[in-house]
Amino acid sequence: MKRQLMIAACAALPLCVALSSQAQPQARPEQAIKYRQSVMTLLGSHFGRLGGMAQGRIPFDASVAADNAQLVAMLSKLPFNSFGPGTDKGLPHRAKPEVWSEAGKFKEAADAFQAEIPKLEAAGKSGDLAQIKAAVGAVGKTCKACHDTFQAEK
């Protein structure tokens, strides 16, 4: 199951290299923008499944929850190297200018998010829905906190 999810993620997007080696900042701004948006899209998808189970919109399945928590943990490492200087231009995107003008705060928001990830992974492994709900709530707050400040409206 884990392997299948991994293959699905790799087939859908050019993530295999990133997942199998250290994520490197991309050479061109367009690549960096596409990369971070792709990772965020996958985060939305895999975290969304956990959210669905936490809220009872999707039937709870402990093994699927564990897989998705693990994928979110992997993906959580990838986007933030792709907001480097010069990546505010090149393609349409929704990162606000504050990502660059308040880079320290942006990093704090990213760190706050990453700090919650081990709990999500542990909750996924535990197979305990109550733990998963708590961890999904805590991680979700850090996604929202960053988006409220740093992501432009559609």
Binding site for ligand HEC (CB under 6 A): 33, 36-37, 40-41, 43-44, 47, 93-95, 99, 106, 109-110, 113, 139, 142-143, 146-147, 150-151
Q: Minimum Å distance from CB 129 to ligand HEC? A: 19
Minimum CB distance to ligand HEC, residue 95 (Å): 4
Minimum CB separation of residue 11 from ligand HEC in Å reads: 19
CA distance 153 to 73: 26
Complex with ligand HEC: residue 6 or 113, whichever CB lies closer: 113
Q: Which is nearer to ligand HEC, 125 or 147 (CB)?
A: 147
- CA-closest candidate to residue 139, choices 68, 84, 83, 82: 68
CA distances from 26 to 82, 87, 104, 110 (A): 7, 10, 21, 19
Whether 134 contacts 123, CB under 8 Å: yes
* Residue with smaller CB distance to ligand HEC, 6 or 95: 95
Scan for tokens 């709530």, then name that residue.
Answer: 137
SS3 17: helix
User: Residue 92 CB, nearest distance to ligand HEC (Å)?
Assistant: 8
